[in-house]
A = this chain, B = another copy of it.
């Protein structure tokens, strides 16, 4: 039923190798036969079978992108960047959404190994260091993380430094009782950034001030923030592991009647589009997500080209974006700072 090289060759009265040649543009072929073969290919709507091709070439021209939650707006941007580069280079991408589940993540790694993907991008892994090392040893990977195994190539996000900067910002604004809301108890790089900022300023961190959630969504953060603010009403500021958590906190404050930033200052992380769309707009740390995805894929291409022998990390830069959720606003109207300036804006 399905058209193969054989069919095209027979129909064109040539050998399959000749057809193969015109398809891959190799060797010298007479213009006449080339044209004829091309026509037959069109007529028969022939399409090379990637499976067969991959079987012999040992390459599948596919890569896997492993992420915890595509519904977190952080990841679609990363995906976009990675996919753009992948497509440019003829690669397709398998999307592997792990639902924040380490076991599902490992299962996907295995599955993708079976698919003989040429490489794997792991972003926002929920694996522990040992597991990640293990995966990196057996596969060609490009890891996007703030805790990259030394043995694996990838993109390094200065998350601890970023959160530290954000927390320091709160401290500079005069806050002393600052809490943290984030993933826990294991994935604590960001929390460490918060703790570092507190330590550097000789500020105590009460254990009740740190709240852990199992996944970062507006809803889970909303619940967690509600509990946190009940247990630790003395907090005047909250550092959140990402913007979704910060938005959940905003909602919790609204529900509790606490005004932001007056009654509670809030900082997020990631600078997803949502951060600038909520009220008050979030002060947060910008991560160039599209670039990160792009760089991760470029790095993966290098790993593939280097036959796996490459373990370089590239560190991206992040920077704070000050908006309204901490009360330290510099001029300008709240509504249009992050969009192009409209012409003739009325007062």
Q: How far is the CA of A252 from the CA of B110 in the complex (A)?
A: 48
Please judge, given known A-B contacts A70-B80, A94-B93, A97-B79, whether A50 and B254 are in contact too, CB under 8 Å: no
Q: Is the CB of A47 within 8 A of B255?
A: no
Q: How far is the CA of A45 from the CA of B113 in the complex (A)?
A: 11
Against B, the Cβ 8 Å flags (1 = close, 0 = not) of A21-35 are 000000000000000
Q: Is the CB of A80 within 8 A of B76?
A: no
Identify which of residues 66-100 in chain A touch chain B, using a CB-to-CB cut-off of 8 Å: 70-71, 73, 76-77, 79-80, 83, 92-97
Q: How far is the CA of A9 from the CA of B83 in the complex (A)?
A: 39
User: Total interface residues on A, using CB and 8 Å?
Assistant: 62
Please judge, given known A-B contacts A83-B97, A113-B47, whether A77 and B73 are in contact too, CB under 8 Å: no
Q: Is the CB of A277 within 8 A of B342?
A: no
Give the shortest distance, in Å, between A207 (CB) and chain B (any CB): 23
Q: How many monomers of this protein are in the complex?
A: 2
Q: Say whether A317 faces chain B, with CB atoms less than 8 Å apart.
A: no
The chain B residue with its CB closest to the CB of A280 is B279
Against B, the Cβ 8 Å flags (1 = close, 0 = not) of A259-275 are 00000000000000110
- Pull 13 A–B residue pairs with CB atoms less than 8 Å apart, ordered by A: A49-B116, A80-B97, A92-B112, A92-B115, A218-B277, A219-B340, A252-B342, A254-B336, A255-B342, A255-B345, A277-B278, A278-B278, A279-B279
Chain A residues in the interface with B (C-beta under 8 A): 2, 45, 47-52, 54-55, 58, 60, 62, 65, 70-71, 73, 76-77, 79-80, 83, 92-97, 110-116, 138, 218-219, 222-223, 226, 247, 251-252, 254-257, 273-274, 277-279, 333, 335-336, 339-340, 342, 345-347
A-B pairs, top 3 by smallest CB distance, nearest first, are A254-B335, A95-B95, A257-B346
